[in-house]
Structure 1
Amino acid sequence: MKFALKKPVVCLALALTLGGCASNAQRQVGADPYAALAEGNSSVEYSTAFPVGSPEEAYRNGAAALRASDPDRALFEYLRGLRMEKTPQADPLYRIGIIHHGRGNHDLAEKAYRWALEIDDSHVGAHTALGVALLEQRDYDAAEQQLQPLVSRGRAPWQAHNALGVIADIWGDYGQARGHYETALEASPQTPLVLNNLGYSRYLAGDWDGARQSLRRAVSANPGYELAWRNLGLVYAREGDFETAVEAVARNGDRAKAYNDIGYISMLEGRYDDAMGFFEEAMRLSPAYYITASQNAKNLDNLMRRNGSRQSAN
């Protein structure tokens, strides 16, 4: 790690979630080199119902199946197309990685991405996905090394800039992070994911106004984006506007959780009287939060005994 983490980085939403191991482009698994990437329902019915005459036709069927939200058939079609090829092809392997990622098969997803890159090291999508995979594994140096060359060559998609922004936030380099997020937004201006990450980065940097503006844009672009609402609530809490913070965090209706979370932020800020009130309200509203909130209240009581009660912000 290049720098010590200045502040805990939480709640940063990512575009991909990957993990797993490397593979070899020349592998053989029995008579079928693609068997290790197969997963899901039997392909017999697909073979019978959807005959194809070329790899390209199979790939088109795979794309259509993805649009129809049928990942089983999509996976079968891409594998069928590859089996019809004389040599492995990078892009279908990349598409297979996307399917496995969407299904939560992280090892298989990374295996497909790495194989694609062994075949075609210029495949931008596979480089980006693998970089995010390494980021998900918290291998920040390797993730940065995977993604940064795309920026140097002027080929980085917005997803790569978003991931590099997350890494910069982890290093505590908020200026660099902001640059990556803004570059991502130039390519995809109303992407809630990037707007949320930019807002949270500004929050980490202590730029409350900038954080609020970015997070408001995120929830405007996607009113159901719970993570952005939560981060917006954190900004209001840092500013001492606790009731508005609770309203933002409780958008999903879980007011007990909201009171507990805002109480915790108040405790970190040294607003002990406010924090105790929020913990007590969380305990009153929901038995499910009684244990968590009561433990927070006990921790707070210990802090108050050591440091004394501090003035409420309200």
Structure 2
Amino acid sequence: MRKHEYVTLLLIAMLTACASEPENQAKSFDSELYDGRPVETFNADAAPLTEVEAIKRGDYALRQNNSDLALYEYIRSLEFPNSKYSDKTLYTIGRIHQSRGNFQLAERAYLLALENNPDNVKVLEQLGSNYSKQRKVDEGRSYFLRAINADQVRLSSRKSLNDDSSVTDIDALSSDNSSPALAYIGLGVLDDVKAQHDTAQALYAQALKIDPKSFKALMNMGYSYYMSGNYGDASRFTLAALEQDPNNDKALNNLALIHLAKGEAQRALNVFMRRMDPPEALNNVGYFLMLQGKPEEAIPYLQQAIDKKPSYYKLANENLERALAEVRAKAPLDQETSSQ
């Protein structure tokens, strides 16, 4: 064969090989969202041929608790052109990073997910939760609202929610068991902080429509009623929450506060003693009675706490001194009032 004929055939073969490569072949691995062990340590399996194959590999690795490999496979799935599931995959990547405490990479993954799908309800809800926990209240509220409104679009509802929505507006929203219950709860908490208890309770009620056994919704509903002075409903919802998680410290604490507000100090003491020693329980009753403006009722409980553990319970002594000082400060006012 002549030399120029050989070169021509070689060029044809190379062009044919290039043309036969799959159009959807993935690009090289992008490590921007990866923080695991070196990828060279993974078994040298053949590269996935499709986005779905890469996702399935990631799912399998995650079920095997191999989160490094799962991240690697999920990230490879993003590199296929015209991918269909990028926003869902990025949400999963974000959740993996969040479970590891890498909130910076988690946030990056969530924001990239929204670039692919601005109406991904789960991503919007998660960002709302994360920003609220970071005390970025305005950002948290914004993402919670976006999650709920994106869900209304999903449900073909013409309703929407904004900062000025009323109880009636909230009650009119549509939901199903895939709706973002945590977004409703998160907005409810933010409204409770602003003493907007009626709208907060309407939001918790929506969350309970989605998940009637939601511990968070039940507990926050109970506390909202406590803050608004409705101790009957506060007790009912808090007890319902404790049916879901009988030993939850926060719910037990709330129940004790409700008993104290109802003038049931002994019942509050019994609740505290379910999870702490008698001196600590007695001190807690005294302390919360002081917070409720009842220092004279707090004194006997604080004295009992000291009597039971005088060498140790410094905190009860400090609280007793504070209670006595408050009683003394109130005494002149009481005398002045009675003389008028």
Q: What's the TM-score once normalised by structure 1's chain length?
A: 0.77
Aligned positions of 1:77-156 closer than 5 A: 77-82=73-78, 84-86=79-81, 89-153=86-150, 154=152
Residue 57 of structure 1: aligned partner:
53
Q: Tell me, which stretches of 5 or more residues in structure 2 are unaligned?
A: 1-27, 155-178, 334-340
Quick check: 2:90–2:109 contact (8 Å CA) kept in 1?
yes
Counterpart code for 1:113: Y
Corresponding residue for 1:170?
193
Tell me whether 1:274 sits opposite 2:297 in the alignment: yes
Q: Name the CA distance, whole Å, in 1 between partners of 2:31 and 2:220.
A: 37
* Unaligned stretches of 5+ residues in structure 1: 1-30
* Structure 1 range deviating more: 170-179 or 294-303: 294-303
Q: Percent of pairs identical after alignment?
A: 30
Correspondence for 2:9: none
Letter in 1 for 2:242: V
**Residues 1-314 of structure 1 correspond to what in structure 2 (within 5 A)?**
33-35=30-32, 37-48=33-44, 53-67=49-63, 69-82=65-78, 84-86=79-81, 89-153=86-150, 154=152, 157-283=180-306, 290-308=313-331
In 2 relative to 1, CA 150–303 (structure 1 residues): closer, same or farther, beyond 3 Å? same
**Quick check: 2:279–2:313 contact (8 Å CA) kept in 1?**
no
Task: Supply the AA of the counterpart residue of 1:258.
Answer: A
SS in 1 for 2:313: helix
Equivalent position amino acid for 1:78 in 2: Y
CA apart distance, 1:269 = 2.0
SS at match of 1:251: coil
Residue 42 of structure 1: how far off its partner (Å): 4.4
Question: Residue 264 of structure 1 aligns to which amino acid in structure 2?
Answer: Y
Does the CA-based 8 Å contact 1:66-1:74 persist in structure 2?
A: yes
Instruction: Indicate conservation of the 8 Å contact 1:282/1:289, yes or no.
Output: no
CA shift at 1:241, angstroms?
1.5
Q: 1:44 to 1:214 in 2, by over 3 A?
A: farther
Match of 1:24 in 2: none
8 Å contact 1:38–1:75 — kept in the other structure?
yes
1:32 shift after superposition: 6.0
Query: Which secondary structure state, in structure 1, belongs to the residue aligned with residue 293 of structure 2?
Result: coil
Cα drift, residue 43 of structure 1: 4.2
Distance in 2, matches of 1:273 and 1:196, equals 30
Q: What is the CA deviation profile of residues 100-137 of structure 1, one whole-angstrom value per residue up to 9, with x for unaligned ones?
A: 22222222222221121122111111111111122112
SS, match of residue 35 in structure 2 = coil
Quote the Cα distance in structure 2 between the aligned partners of 1:203 and 1:142: 27
> Residues 85 and 245 from structure 1, CA distance in 2 versus in 1: closer, same or farther, beyond 3 angstroms?
farther
Q: How far apart are the structure 2 equivalents of 1:41 and 1:284?
A: 57
TM-score, normalised by the number of residues in structure 2: 0.71
- Measured in 2, the distance between the counterparts of 1:302 and 1:141 equals 40
**Which stretch has the larger CA shift, 54-63 or 215-224?**
54-63
Instruction: Report SS of the residue matched to 1:122.
Output: coil
SS in 2 for 1:252: coil
Distance change in 2, residues 1:250/1:78 (3 Å): farther
Asked whether the equivalents of residues 226 and 251 of structure 1 are also in contact (C-alpha less than 8 Å), the reply is no
Shift of 1:51: 7.3
Q: Match for 1:144: what amino acid? A: R
Residue of structure 2 in register with 1:21 after alignment: none
Compute the RMSD of aligned alpha carbons: 3.1
- Alignment coverage as a number of residue pairs: 279
Letter in 2 for 1:298: E
- C-alpha separation in 2, matches of 1:73 and 1:251: 44
Q: CA deviation at 1:187?
A: 0.7
